[in-house]
Amino acid sequence: MTEKPIYLLAIESSCDDTAAAVLENDKVLSNLVARQHIHEAYGGVVPELASRAHQQNIVPVVDAALKKAGITKNQLHAIAFTQGPGLMGSLLVGSSFAKSMSIALNIPLIAVHHMQAHIFAHFIDEPGFDKPTFPFLALTISGGHTQIVKVTDFSTLEIIGETTDDAVGEAFDKTAKILGLPYPGGPLIDQFSKEGNPKAYSFTKPKVDDLDFSFSGLKTQILYFIQKNTQLNPNFVEENKTDICASVQHTIIEILMDKLNLAVKQTGIHQIAIGGGVSANSGIRQTLKDAEQKYGWKTYIPKFEYTTDNAAMIGIVGYQKFLAQNFESSSVVSKARIEL
Ligand code: KG4
Ligand code: ZN
């Protein structure tokens, strides 16, 4: 006899994307994101504008996700939402919505940690994508985080390395800003890199102890490099954009790979999963793929739609918590900062 399926609605609103997904057990029935383009004009996310846009987007996005999944709200068994970390005003829109819906439908409410969700996105049932087996190392790289996490099981996660200043996504976005590219610049640097020579320019890699990272020095180095060269040739950036992007991206990938190699050496764990918005980067994806042959690792690269912020990843953690009956009351609070 087959068990009755669990239908779960997941909401993600930690930063500037309003996202909703519907899952049937560990399968994604719908996964929609309303991107907020309003921030592009400001060169970064404006928190006040983000929460206002979430308020406008959340009802239509949830409606569309239910419709696309072919599910009515009365069929839902639980609602999961992002508790943190993130922008408080943004988080509150998602949590208030999830709370009211769980009260109205009288179904359980599940709170999810955003960075855990980036890690466990690999457990979404997707044809052609293997799920990691425990223990594995997760490299979580996003606009706000850069961490190496030792994952022993669904509830045992240990941060064994993290950035001491900027996140890797910020390194991409700030470089893009220096080059005059719009926010978020990560995807554009990726695109230009494909046409450029990664060895055209060399940047010094930061010396940071153990498994920790630092990206602020690299950003300053790039700023001075661009200023110096633009003084000599005002068209320097325009004429060499692809080579600059490829060289910066190459340096960032080397920094990440050096630390991953050290983490493998220290832990003896050869299974590596990447997650977070920066794991959309084609250079990083290819390097990780090549590492299987080069180092004998088993690497897990998420499906593209589960890399940048999305609600399906909140849903998969929600599903695990549903199975563990790990529910919250409606007094649960959103947290801008929250331990992994
Ligand atoms: O996980 P995410 O969507 O939001 C946060 O939780 O921060 O990550 C956003 C970050 C941004 O810094 C963005 O520039 C970066 O991910 N990003 C990329 C690429 N796609 C997104 N960075 C490099 N290459 C990409 N293809
Ligand atoms: Zn994220």
- Residue 84, ligand 1, Cβ within 6 A: no
Architecture of domain 7-122+307-323: 2-Layer Sandwich (3.30)
Q: Which residue is associated with the tokens 């929250």? A: 338
Q: Which residues contact 317 (CB under 8 A, 6 or more apart)?
A: 80, 112, 113, 116, 117, 120
Across the chain, which has 340 residues, the per-10-residue mean pLDDT values are 86 95 98 89 85 94 98 98 97 98 98 97 97 98 96 96 97 96 95 98 95 96 98 98 98 98 98 97 98 98 96 98 97 94
In DSSP notation, 200-248 reads: SS--PPP--STT-B--HHHHHHHHHHHHHHHHH-TTHHHHHHHHHHHHH
Minimal-distance CA residue to ligand 1 atom 7: 143
pTM metric for this prediction = 0.95
Q: What is the pLDDT of residue 294?
A: 98
Q: What would the CATH number be for the domain defined by 130-301?
A: 3.30.420.40
Domain boundaries, the chain: 7-122+307-323, 130-301
Radius of gyration (C-alpha) of the chain in whole angstroms: 20
Q: Cα(76)–Cα(66) distance, rounded to whole angstroms?
A: 10
Minimal-distance CA residue to ligand 1 atom 20: 187
Q: What is the pLDDT of residue 2?
A: 63
Q: Are strands 17-24 and 27-35 parallel, antiparallel or unpaired?
A: antiparallel
Minimal-distance CA residue to ligand 1 atom 16: 277
Ligand nearest to the backbone CA of 282: 1
Q: What is the pLDDT of residue 159?
A: 98
Distance from residue 243's CA to the centre of ligand 2 (Å): 28
Q: What is the pLDDT of residue 36?
A: 83
Minimal-distance CA residue to ligand 1 atom 23: 186
Distance from residue 166's CA to the centre of ligand 1 (Å): 13
Q: What is the pLDDT of residue 146?
A: 97
